[in-house]
Structures are given as structure tokens and as C-alpha cells.
Structure 1
Amino acid sequence: MGEPPWWTSAVVYQVYPRSFMDSDGDGVGDLGGIRQRLDHLTDLGVDVVWLSPVYASPQADNGYDISDYQAIDPVFGTLEEFDALLAELHDRGIKLVMDLVVNHTSDQHPWFVESRSSTTDPKRDWYWWRPPRAGMTAGEPGAEPTNWHSFFSGPTWELDEPSGEYFLHLFAREQPDLNWENPEVRQAVHAMMRWWLDRGVDGFRMDVINMISKDVGLPDGPPLPGSPYGDGSASYLCGPRIHEYLQEMHREVFAGRPDRLLTVGEMPGVTVEQARLFTDPARAEVDMVFQFEHVGLDFDGDKWHSRPLRLRDLKASFGRWQAGLADVGWNSLYWDNHDQPRAVSRFGDDRPAHRRDSATCLATLLHLHRGTPYVYQGEELGMANAPFATLADLRDVESLNHHAQAVAAGADPDSVLAAIRPVSRDNARTPVQWDATEHAGFTTGTPWIAVNPDHVEWNAAAQRDDPRSVLAHHRALIALRHASWTVQLGDFTMLLPDHDDVYAFTRALDGETLLVVCNVSGTPYRLDELLPQAVGAELVLGNLADPDPVALAGWDARVLRLR
């Protein structure tokens, strides 16, 4: 076997710029703010920063609606400031991965402005335009070309009244989908990607990249329960030309460049079998995928209908992905990102007595799997969900659209808000809690979204020199991955698959076996009864002080070296 790729030993840190650090007092995080906090990233020990979009954007979806791929939005700074950030990261040995959002653009992107200007414009076919349903009049209820349901509520089609045609948007109506069937679209995207790589960036995290290939017939999807819309996902998730498009992208953009580059494909709905194809190095598509299976286990039908997570379901999911990508491809490992509520509130226990232990337990569980771990900003501090008291506290277009649609359909507004509160994407987007001062040290102005009031106790300044802090435990986990070939590359074997609270597995390589035991509950258990081999094993890393050799306390997590 040759030298393993560098990212097998790496840890990625996601920066959501709007909420990371504000350098100019306007209440919105920016590139200057990121530069001010680089010591934090260096101290943590991360190898890569994944930067959520900083491109020019009307901000209908907080930057995931891009109006110019080769410009920095003034709210975040300038291209010169970006270059300075990139240089400073490289000086610290940290790579920078950009967020690539090319399933859709902003409706204010010049490409779409031209496409919309006339049915005969040369760029008309750069997007998905369709006439109303046969026999129906444009604007009439149900006249949309398909019955597909948008991820952000409502139909996926928006009527353009001057032309009498509809354009497709899988997300917000301000985010029209690009038509990748048109080779000119693909060439334009490839040219833009080469421009950023030539500037020095180290790769791309590719937003919903498995949606770029659509079934050109655009057939209706099966009806969704209780909805006037249908599920069109079979027509756009991992569509008929997706592998062709990614292989072409690799040839046109990455071939011949240094192997330091990283490509990560965010792929909702992707299966293990599909991921093996996408991440097989011999196929030259992407290095790893973000899959959503494990973050879909705690809701019923859709994200607004939460239910408790069953740990055995999580084991089955993680175990299937570990086994499926053991010999081909690679896993990405995450709890949190800009689209997910905070893991300590979702899967742990964010009450004061248990928050530190459950946050470090969840981190240990994740980081010791085979794959590349991702740390989302604030996760290393144990940041928790926010107490959104009213609808006015929310900013997320997905949450606001859902509330409006549900209330219009007759739902009780307070009940809808109660369902939104624990799962809204805004939970991930409250400002990073740097210290206990007003606005958590994030800004000298008024933050664009309120700081979580718990920042007085939970902040980076309070944890920086505390050896028992969530921050210190993340440092130790990252250092262990860097130092241990067994953590990086060892075989994975799941233990206790049917236990309701204890998550245990081994990692083994070249005669060394590490046993990982995580009690994902507040209930104590006898370690000597569950895993006798753990008794007397060497403690490599644990999250509790002076753990009992024969008993697991609540939220107890240990990495043990078997003798």
C-alpha cells in the first residue's frame, strides 16, 4: 500500500463567517474577524479550515445564493483580505477549503439575469425553464411543471410572468438551479474553480453536489403525506449523469495539480453503495462525501417532527458506513455544521450538570471512528442550542418559510414555533462565544442574530487554560489522531450493537488494538460485565477525571489500549 492521503490524519474546522468573529462592529462576522482568531485554530490543532460562502450574495440564504463567484461580498471584506487570510493560514500550516455552491446561483447572478431576459437569450438554457403543465394556464394553482416540493417549503417552481414560464429552484425561489446538461454551464463552473485553485485555495466542499444531474423528463414525484406537493428526489438525487459530471470536473479542474487538494461532496440521500463509487480513487470523482443518514435518525418523516434517537439505530448506521467504506473510499465524520442543531443539545444532555461530560463523550465517539472528523465552530466549546423565545428571534429562511406555511394551513403558531426551536438551522448560527462580555466578544455592535445568553459561562476564554474543558478534550482528540496510525487507518469493529446506551468499538492496526467505550447516557453501567477485556487496559484518553476501573459513569468515554 502506498502512502495514505494526507487527509486521513487531518481534522477539518468549519467556519461560518457570518457568526465567527466581527472585526468592524457591524454585527456580522467577516474575514478580518477570522484573521483575529487564528490563534484559536492553531491552538486547537486543526489541519484544514472549510470556509462557508463569502462570495458576493444578496444573502437570501446567508451566502448560499451567489451572485458573483469571483468576488467577495462587502459584508465579509475584500479579495485582498481573503488573500491575506489564505496566506496567514498557510503560514500556520492550515489548508483552506472553499464552499462550492454550483447546483444553483442567486437570481441576481448575471447568468440568471440574462437567462430571464428573454426566451431566446443565449443563456436561457443555463437554467431549467418550463412552460405550465399541459392544458393549464400559468399562475393557476397546480400549473407548475412538476409537483416537486422545495426544501424550503412550497413548490420548486417560480413563475416568471413576463415570459409565462417557470424556473426550477430546489431551495429558495431566489436560488434558481443551474442546468448542468448545458456544457457551457459546466465549462463556466470549471473555469471558476480553476481561478480559485490558482489563487491558492486547497480544495472545495461541494454543496448538494449530487443534485446537479436531473432526469431531463422531470417526472412528478409520489405525493407527500398531508401536502399538495410530491417528492421529486428520485429525479435529482444522484441523477443519471452525476458520475459523468464529477469525473469531467476532476479531469478539467484537478488533474495534474498537487495531491494536497481536497474534494468533499455534500450528498443528501446518498447510500453506502453510491458513496463507494463516488469516493473510489480509481474513479477520480471526490475524496469523501457528506452523508445525512445519521442526522435523519431523530425525526419522523420530516425534520419538524422530532423523536428521541435510539442509540442502536446510530450504531447500525455508523457501522454500515464504516464497513462499506473500509476497503474503498473514505468517511467524513460530523455531528454539527451550519445546517444542523447543536449536538450537545440534540444527542447529549445540555443541562449544566451533564453538558461538559456529554459534549466530550460525543466528541470522543465521533473522532475515534475511521474517517476525517469535522469540527463546527463552537462545537469545541460545547456550544448548545439557543432559547429562541419568539419567531422574531429566528433568521433562517427554511424555518421562517415553514412557520408561515404551517400557520397558513391552520396550525397553531406556538406549536409550530415549539417544533422549530430544537431543530432550526439558526441553532448553529448564533455567534461563537469567545468570552463572557456583552455579545460574547463576537462584536462591538449589535449581532445579526442574538448571542446565546449562556455565553457567560460557556466561552473560549473560560476554557482556554482549563485542562478539563471541552476545548482541552478536543485538543487531545486531534493530537491523538495526528499521533496514532491506528486511529487514522485501523480496522473498525462494532461491539455491543444492541445495547441501548453504551457505544463501543475497536480500532486495530499492526498488532495494536484500541477499545473505545462511550456511555451515551446518564445511567451508570458495570464495565467489567459489559466488556471484561477493558478492565486493566491502559487508558489512552478519557473524558472524566479518575474513572472507575470497573464501572462506567454517565457520559463516561474512554480510549483504551488492550494488552
Structure 2
Amino acid sequence: MPLSGDDWWRDAAIYQVYVRSFADADGDGTGDLAGVRARLPYLAELGVDALWFNPWYLSPMADGGYDVADYRAVDPAFGSLDEAEKLISEARDLGLRTLVDIVPNHVSDQHPWFRAALADPDAAERDLFHFRPGRGPDGAEPPNGWTSEFGGPAWTRTTDPDGTPGDWYLHLFAAGQPDLNWARAEVREEHEDVLRFWFARGAAGVRVDSAALLCKDPALPDLVDGAPHPYVDRDELHEVYRGWRAVADEFGGVLVGELWLPDTERFVRYLRPDELHTAFNFDFLACPWDAARLRASVDMTLAAHAPVGAPATWVLCNHDVTRTVTRYGRADTGFDFAAKRFDTPTDLALGTRRARAAALLSLALPGSVYLYQGEELGLPEAAVPPDRIEDPMHFRSGGVDPGRDGCRVPLPWDGDERHYGFGEGAAPWLPQPADWAPYAAARQAGDPASTLSLYREALRVRRTEPGFAGGAFRWLDAPDGVLAFARGDGLTCLVNLTTDAVRLPGSGELLLASGPLDEDGGLPADTAVWLRAG
């Protein structure tokens, strides 16, 4: 597929690559850039437009690479900067653009700035973070009551070089991820320079991690009901992203925000023409398998984006949330971090039917769509043995939350090879389930009924049918529990979320179905179709 158009991102299909779990070329058990390069033809054949890579930077891996020690270096576990440049170039030759992940809220505690800040209580680098004296006798209590996104206090006390207890530092995530002070010009200048660094190496865009958390109330007050939030969605953020947009515009780059904000009016402020280009749609991702709820989410999303002219995005899962097949096979089909528990009963057959239907739903909606690696294989969440879990969310929950490793287990490529073809040497960094051979890409590639074949055909039709271009969209009359909408040039998508089959319209060509139709041509429960008007 040739690359064309400066606004490619408005209706792109973007594939998320979690490098550590994608493909292992050097046999050490960890996925790497060489593994991705070897699998680029697979991604091109899949039919996506771009690849978004989770952080591949130098990192001690306290949080899967989201603790960055050097934004301009590739971690040796993944390869080298030269290899990253080759990957970006080779992907582009195959018609695939590259988006890199920038983590601006925090750095690793191994970052040179933070190491300098710890080495000397009077170091200028301390101003680049949030160091504060503690409260209570001898400063033994955290400066405020903020809690970490991973559970527990958001503060850790330091030890001064002479061995005495020192100040506390803020970390909204793990203790190894100290928050940066975005009130400092040095922090803003450094990140704008990092953007230039990667755009100059061919990156087509940037995904902005935790995009709403950067700026803090300088007083660092406790959270008070009714008062402005001290660190979420601060107005000062918009100045930051206007600066980023100016840099992106220099290179024709795209900015994609990770924004978990329930207030849609506040959310779309980040998508004004001089700020971010797009942002992830977490309302749709977390929505349960319910026709009314999904329709309301689609309506809200399209209505919110319309005034600023930004395209909507559609996401079913990513590296942080329970895989779609598993989530849709449970009694509670929504997603909430606080509700994750071990051994939740799951009907994988039901979840797979629904996930296949959801694929056609999301790919038919106007805007861009993000696919998480393995989603095209219909992978379920893996049950990682507790003694193999690495995710800090699990440990900071006291072992109650299973964490996010279950959606990060290395991919199965060939059901007949060792480690399912992920790598030929050491065992994968997370154990693969013993029953994953049927999910392997090589097995699914030759099966027209497989989930991989469904995604390949859906992405082909989405790209070649003119009706899927642009933003034309309208709901059609349908029975309760059925979603039906039209796109341009007579294209229709129907999704049956009831428990019984429903009749299809009397005329129209069947372009694609997520599962077999009934013997009389009816649309079964938990099945979706694309039709072209006859």
C-alpha cells in the first residue's frame, strides 16, 4: 500500500507493538527490534497503516519500559538506535508509518537528572522533580495524601548522602518513576528536543503517555472534593501541548494523547487545532457489551469531536487492559482497573464471538482504529503464575490485582515450533499457555474462518471500499439490542447484541460477517455483518 496524504492519521488502522512480547530474534527470551523487522511483512499483509511502539528506550524495566533512563538510546535488550532507524525505514518501505511512545510525566530513577538530584540535596536537578520535606514528627509522614496509580502512597523518602533521612519525592506511578516538574523550562525544552530527535529519524507520530498528569498545583495540596484537581487536567497543560504541536508541525508529525478524562468538554480541549491531533477513546474501550451503552458511547464520541474537527479513535484493548476475548466472555463485560481479580469465570467461546463482532463494529466506525498485538489472533488473557508476575500493579495491590502481564504474554507465531516460534533460545520472559497452539499466526493464516483471516479481510475491505472514507455516519432503524448504521455509498454495519437471531435487510450484498449466518440467512447473536446496498 503506498503512503499518501498528510492527513493519513484521520482514518488510519494503527497496530500496537509491545516489543518485549512481539518476536525474539536473538534467542534471549525477550522480544527485540530485530524480531519486529523480521515480521514486518506479516504486519504489511495484515493491512494496517501504521505501527505504534511501546517504549524501547534505555530502562531498568521497573514498569515495562515506562521508566525511561535515556530517551535517545534504545535499551540493549531490544537492540540499538541504528536498528530502530532501520526498522522505521524498512517499515516505511512497506507502507507502514511508525509512532513512538513518549513518557513525559516521569523518568526512571536511573535517569541522570534524578541520580544527580539524589547525590546532593543542594543539586540544581532537584528542582526538575518534586522534592518536599515530610510532615509530622521528624518529617516521617508523606508531604500529602496522594496515592499512586499503582496503589499505595505516591511519595518515597530519600536518604541523604550522610545516611540520614531526607526529603520525599513524588511518583504518581512506581517509586522508580519520579515525576518531573513541568513548571521548569528545562523539562519542557528537553521534551521538545526529544520530539525533534525522533521525528528527524523518521517517526511519523508520537503517542503521549499519561497525557493529562504532567502539570501539578505548585502547592501540592491534598485532594479536596469540589476543588480543582491538583494534578489531573490542569489548564497549564495546554501551553505544553501547543509547544509540542509547533514541533510536530515542523516535521509533519502527529500527536496522539493517552487521556483518561470523563468530562468530554475538557477532553476535546486537547484536540483543538493547535494542540494534539487525536486521543484514545477510553470510554469505548471500557464500555460493556451492551447495545444501548455502546450506541451512547459512539454518539458521545462523535458529538464531542465534531466541534474541533478531530477524528474519533476506536480502541478495544491495549497493553494495560484485559484482552477483549476474555473481557467479553465474563459476566461483567466492561473494564475497570479496580475490579480485576484472579480466577474470574470466563466463557472464551462467547468472548471470541463477541470480540470478532466488536472488530467489525470498531473497524466500521468513522475515524482511526487501534489494534493491540495479538488481537488479530483472538488471543485471550493469559493466566500468569503469581511467581512469574512482574507488573508493579500486582505488587502494590498487595497481590489482589493480577496486574497487566496477562495481556503482555509473548505472541504465538507457529504452533509446531518451540515457544510457538516466538524465539528459538531461552524461554520467553513471561510463560506462554500450554494450549495456545491453535492461536498461532501460521495456523490461522491458512484458515479462512480464523480471527486472523477476519482481520485481514476486514482491513482490506475498510481500505478499498470508498464508503469507509470520510466521516459520513448515520444510525439506522433496528430492533432493540441491535446496532445498525450506514456509512457512505450504501455501506451498512449491523451488530446483533441480543440472544436471538435477527433478520437481515431484504437486499444488499454481504461483504463480510464475523461468524456464520443462520441456515435461513439470519444474523445470530453476538455476530456482525457488513453489507453493501444492492
TM-score, structure 2 normalization: 0.89
Greater Cα shift, 184-193 or 289-298: 289-298
Q: 2:271 and 2:388 mapped to 1: Cα distance?
A: 40
Work out the number of aligned pairs and report it: 508
Q: Does structure 1 residue 359 correspond to structure 2 residue 340?
A: no
SS of structure 1 residue aligned to 2:529: strand
Partner of 1:279: 271
Q: Determine if contact 1:315/1:497 at 8 Å carries over to the other structure.
A: no
Distance apart, 1:341 and its partner CA: 1.1
Q: Which residue of 1 aligns with 2:305?
A: 325
- Matched residue of 1:158: which SS? strand
Q: 8 Å contact 2:285–2:317 — kept in the other structure?
A: no
Listed as ranges, the matches of 1:414-453 within 5 Å are: 416=400, 420-421=401-402, 424-436=403-415, 437-444=417-424, 445-453=426-434
> Aligned partners of 1:476 and 1:384: how far apart in 2?
21
- Contact 1:264 1:290 (C-alpha < 8 Å) held by counterparts: yes
Distance in 1 separating the partners of 2:227 and 2:281: 19
Do structure 1's residue 519 and structure 2's residue 499 form an aligned pair? no
From 379, 382, 385, the equivalent of 2:378 is 382
Query: How do 1:454-533 residues align onto structure 2 when only pairs under 5 Å count?
Result: 454-494=435-475, 499=480, 501-507=481-487, 509=488, 512-520=489-497, 523-527=499-503
Counterpart contact for 1:362–1:520, Cα < 8 Å: no
Deviation at 1:561, TM superposition (A): 2.8
Which 10-residue stretch deviates more, 538-547 or 440-449?
538-547
Measured in 1, the distance between the counterparts of 2:198 and 2:138 equals 44
CA RMSD of aligned residues (A): 2.4
Q: Deviations over 1:378-403 (max 9, x none)?
A: 10010111134x42142211122213
Instruction: Report the Cα offset of residue 358 of structure 1.
Output: 3.0
Answer whether contact 2:281 2:314 (CA < 8 A) is retained. no
User: Which residue, out of 243, 254, 257, partners 1:262?
Assistant: 254
2:359 maps to 1:369: no
Deviation at 1:520, TM superposition (A): 3.5
State the distance in 1 between where 2:445 and 2:452 align. 7
- Give me the whole-angstrom Cα distance separating, in 1, the residues matched to 2:264 and 2:108: 32
Change (3 A) 1:353 1:122: closer
Residues 50 and 96, structure 1, Cα contact 8 Å, conserved in 2: yes
Match 1:166 to one of 154, 163, 168: 168
The 2-side partners of 1:497 and 1:122 are apart by 64
Write the mapping of 1:216-365 to structure 2, written as runs, cut at 5 A. Answer: 216-222=218-224, 234-251=229-246, 253-258=247-252, 261-269=253-261, 271-281=263-273, 284-297=274-287, 310-327=290-307, 328-348=309-329, 351=347, 353-354=349-350, 356-365=352-361
- Percent sequence identity over aligned pairs: 35
Match of 2:15, SS state, is: strand
Question: Does the CA-based 8 Å contact 1:11-1:373 persist in structure 2?
Answer: yes
Aligned ranges for residues 29-40 of structure 1 at < 5 Å?
Answer: 29-40=31-42
Match of 1:121 among 119, 123, 135: 123
CA drift at 1:452 = 2.4
CA contact (8 A) 2:248 2:254 kept: no
Partners in 2 of 1:487 and 1:218 — Cα distance?
47
CA offset digits 1:192-233 (Å, max 9, x no partner): 21111112211111101111122222221159xxxxxxx999
Q: Helix, strand or coil: the match of 1:466?
A: coil
CA distance in 2, matches of 1:83, 1:114: 30
* Correspondence for 1:64: 66
Give the Cα–Cα distance (whole angstroms) in 1 for the partners of residues 382 and 270 of structure 2: 36
- The answer as to whether partners of 1:100 and 1:207 remain within 8 angstroms in 2 is yes
Point out where structure 2 has 5 or more consecutive residues left out of the alignment.
Answer: 331-345
Q: Among residues 177, 184, 190, which one is paired with 1:175 in the alignment?
A: 177
Q: Deviations over 1:364-383 (max 9, x none)?
A: 01111112111111100101
- Report the counterpart of residue 338 of structure 2 in structure 1: none
CA–CA distance in structure 2, aligned partners of residues 32 and 319 of structure 1 = 42
Unpaired runs of at least 5, structure 1? 224-230, 299-308, 405-415, 529-533
AA aligned to 1:402 is S
Kindly indicate whether the alpha-carbon contact (under 8 Å) linking 2:73 and 2:81 is maintained by their aligned counterparts in 1. yes
* Partner of residue 87, structure 2: 85
Deviation at 1:5, TM superposition (A): 1.5
The question of whether the paired residues in 2 share the 8 Å contact of 1:269 and 1:291 is answered with no
Aligned 8 A contact 1:10 1:47 in 2: yes
Q: Which amino acid aligns with 1:433?
A: P
452-461 or 56-65: bigger deviation: 452-461
Query: Does 2:125 match 1:154?
Result: no
State the shift of 1:149 in Å: 1.1
> Displacement of 1:184 after TM fit?
1.0
Q: Quickly say closer, same or farther: Cα 1:20–1:485, change in 2 above 3 A.
A: same
Distance 1:496 1:149 in 2: 47
Q: Is contact 2:285-2:314 (8 Å) kept?
A: no
In 2, Cα distance between the equivalents of 1:322 and 1:172? 35
